[in-house]
Structure 1
């Protein structure tokens, strides 16, 4: 969102999952940096870093390397989805109909809705702990209040979320720097915090996978925040602005969390962080707590869009507006609240298990979506067909995508290493989890080959404004 539009940021967004006309597009690629940088500097990101040195018992140097490699690798996958929004002008999950068919896409969309509910619940727990620490309120009451604040952002919509994350990029960024300085220079950390012994491949790969998934988990909705941008925004600018914002905004708070976990492993994230930045702890916890509310508004907003996508699939003449988004957001909030209150007492273990399970079901979807967009359709889609019950040229059910998706999950199972289940290959590798790498390497070529063999490329006569996207013309000719 442009800085010259502050008065418009509080206007309620009327559109939901419908196509954004080009005369309503606005913003520049650099605005994507603030969306992802500002939204990632929050307590849940810090808690993910805590996992590296508590659940996985890594020393800080090893945790830093694992977190860096994971964010850098996962960020590539996540940011590649960013270019789809300006080109297509529709939400990410609606685009999935182009790969899976109108009804086949429901398999993925429903799982993504579960993901949004899980992230919203996780954020409410940490936000509730932060508010309880600051105001002395009961944790359960604090969890509810944090959730209600997030609902307001989801109801107002896109512009307000862009505005809030823009402000948080500055405020939370400065606060993050102060937290590092206060922790390491002013107060200092306990002796032994930076001990170098204890790194294991199990812990390293577990942390790397967790960081990679942190980025990949954004893939199902990254286009939701680029679909209002001009069609000529460009693939590279959208990619790099998104990539830089998401990776930097995630890696730095995770490193902060790794230090917290190594210094005070017995404390929860909020208590440990507050102890290490004593003197400015109220300000740090408050800012990172507000960051949670902003990010949860994003989760709830996109979750509502996904639910509306399911509804529009079943009832194609329905055109949901702002009121429908508000109702759905409220229902999702209620579902997340139950999950948060039930799981708040064992948060880190529940969150880690949730993230590792999520990794298994997201990997094949992101592989299919990116191969379809960049290698098969080259960014050229029939937008009208996406809103048809019969799927238009994409059909009701694309068996190639669905089979590849199911195989993508199945091929990962032997390589999984989680507290709930460890596959036979992972056992032979002493618990090292490389399932997400295997999933990507298996499904990317498989989907491409099967779509080619089964005539998956359907030429469409479409004018493409982005010079980096190749338009497929009737007869098979291409044009840069």
Structure 2
């Protein structure tokens, strides 16, 4: 818990967010835990999840097996992202700042940089899907459609945390209605032979499809505590976890199943213009469907630009407070959105193939980080952190914890023999029947390796606080951060 004199909880801060990467004091904590449900439901009930779900069918699985892999992947992957969400209320800082405790003040720049690339990759993909649909709907040139679509979520990111949550609550209802209608229409028109169509399901193909669904959830992990850090510090862990988990897993699973159904009907049309194809399911109101599907992508697009700002600050900022966080955020998200729009305009090729490569590539990089981060939080330090030290280059967490950095690199290297993507196939993929278990290898090597580092005494070099004695859970009011000046 915060030990500074935060005082009684006050009215929520103004709509325009005034904080950057610094600790959020108790007096400015606001919001309800169920807001995590609507935020993560709306973030998942959107078109890029549809594209991800379609991948299982394009890999050759029939619809039945595609649905099985989607359900398993989301159930497993959601566990990691929801456990990251718990860190927000207890620590009150953005996710990637907390990584300095494992990697060091400067070493934390490595995972933060990778996360910024992730945000940029999703920005490009969102621009391709949304901008292309806007262009097809209005008849404007595709570059213009991409720019306009990017500006829509830019406006939300400029305001910050509160508007992102408010937009998500509205969009979650709109998206839920539209995607439910699409599910009913696709289910009604699926030919009877489709559940038995496609190639025979092999263990390798099934595991690859499961990995892609897991990757969808794991790539939310760097986002989540950015959007739970304003919750009251006494929010129960289980409450934060389950609202986040249910919103993300239910939303992601349902939408990805719709994507698999759509691909089973016509994967080529879906690949060419996903929003246009779905809007044509209701030709009489296709314009309204296009509008609703475009709006469904706004929360995730805003979260990407906003999260990229926080992650970039965690790379370069040596201070916990900016003179003008709102101005800095505005300048950054405008530049970030511009770069994403330009890259989307210059991009070409298969949308589904491009998206598969992006999600798998990010999974390989993020799984070792999430294993290290969660192991540190729940097993090594058990939620005890010195927040002020996260902002001190020469503080207790060190400048660069080389043991953790090397472990991170080793974990990624250990994944390479098991990678199965269109860009690279590892030497052990064929003996495994095409299975991609790289994420599982990275998870085990990263988590077990970090525990070994801690037990070997390198934890002390990393500045870890002494956790409570085994079997002695700390009182709730002592769990979390210490913060002082």
Please indicate, yes or no, whether the TM-score normalized by the shorter chain is above 0.5.
yes
Q: What residue is the counterpart of 1:248 in the other structure?
A: 250
Q: What residue is the counterpart of 1:193 in the other structure?
A: 194
Contact 1:464–1:471 at 8 Å: present in 2 too?
Answer: no
Q: What residue is the counterpart of 2:32 in the other structure?
A: 28
User: 1:320-469 residue pairs with structure 2 within 5 A?
Assistant: 321-390=325-394, 392-456=395-459, 457-459=464-466, 466=476, 469=479
- Structure 1 residues 323-363: Cα deviation after superposition (integer angstroms, max 9, x where no partner): 00111111111221122112244322111111111111101
- Given the alignment of the two structures, is residue 275 of structure 1 paired with residue 280 of structure 2, yes or no? yes
CA gap of 1:89–1:57, structure 2 versus 1, over 3 A, is same
User: 1:4-43 residue pairs with structure 2 within 5 A?
Assistant: 11-43=15-47
SS at match of 2:194: coil
- The alpha-carbon deviation at position 291 of structure 1 amounts to 1.3
**Mind listing any 5+ residue stretches in structure 2 that lack a counterpart?**
1-10
Contact 1:43–1:126 at 8 Å: present in 2 too?
Answer: yes
**For 1:183 and 1:245, how far apart are their aligned partners in 2?**
23
**For 1:286 and 1:374, how far apart are their aligned partners in 2?**
43
CA gap of 1:350–1:10, structure 2 versus 1, over 3 A, is farther
* Range moving further from structure 2, 407-416 or 302-311: 302-311
**For 2:315 and 2:344, how far apart are their aligned partners in 1?**
24
User: 1:47-446 residue pairs with structure 2 within 5 A?
Assistant: 47-54=51-58, 56-185=59-188, 188-190=189-191, 192-198=193-199, 199-267=201-269, 268=272, 269-313=274-318, 319=323, 321-390=325-394, 392-446=395-449
**For 2:324 and 2:457, how far apart are their aligned partners in 1?**
35
- The alpha-carbon deviation at position 470 of structure 1 amounts to 8.0
- Structure 1 residues 239-271: Cα deviation after superposition (integer angstroms, max 9, x where no partner): 110000000111111111101111012213223
- Structure 1 residues 269-327: Cα deviation after superposition (integer angstroms, max 9, x where no partner): 223323334344333322121111221001110001111222213x6785551100111
CA gap of 1:449–1:226, structure 2 versus 1, over 3 A, is same
* Range moving further from structure 2, 204-213 or 217-226: 204-213
**For 2:286 and 2:50, how far apart are their aligned partners in 1?**
14
CA gap of 1:454–1:277, structure 2 versus 1, over 3 A, is farther
CA gap of 1:190–1:9, structure 2 versus 1, over 3 A, is farther
**Mind listing any 5+ residue stretches in structure 1 that lack a counterpart?**
1-6, 473-480
**For 1:53 and 1:272, how far apart are their aligned partners in 2?**
16
Contact 2:420–2:436 at 8 Å: present in 1 too?
Answer: yes
Which consecutive segments of 4 or more residues in structure 1 shift more than 4 A? 7-10, 315-320, 467-472
Contact 1:381–1:460 at 8 Å: present in 2 too?
Answer: no
**For 2:80 and 2:166, how far apart are their aligned partners in 1?**
25
**For 2:175 and 2:74, how far apart are their aligned partners in 1?**
19
Q: CA RMSD in A?
A: 2.3
Contact 2:186–2:262 at 8 Å: present in 1 too?
Answer: no
Contact 1:130–1:286 at 8 Å: present in 2 too?
Answer: no
**For 1:10 and 1:337, how far apart are their aligned partners in 2?**
30
TM-score (norm. length: structure 1): 0.91
- The alpha-carbon deviation at position 430 of structure 1 amounts to 2.7
Query: Aligned residue pairs: how many?
Result: 460
Contact 1:13–1:322 at 8 Å: present in 2 too?
Answer: yes
- Structure 1 residues 1-49: Cα deviation after superposition (integer angstroms, max 9, x where no partner): xxxxxx9798211111111000100122111100100121111111111
SS at match of 1:420: coil
**For 1:416 and 1:445, how far apart are their aligned partners in 2?**
20
CA gap of 1:372–1:8, structure 2 versus 1, over 3 A, is closer
TM-score (norm. length: structure 2): 0.90
**For 1:36 and 1:387, how far apart are their aligned partners in 2?**
29
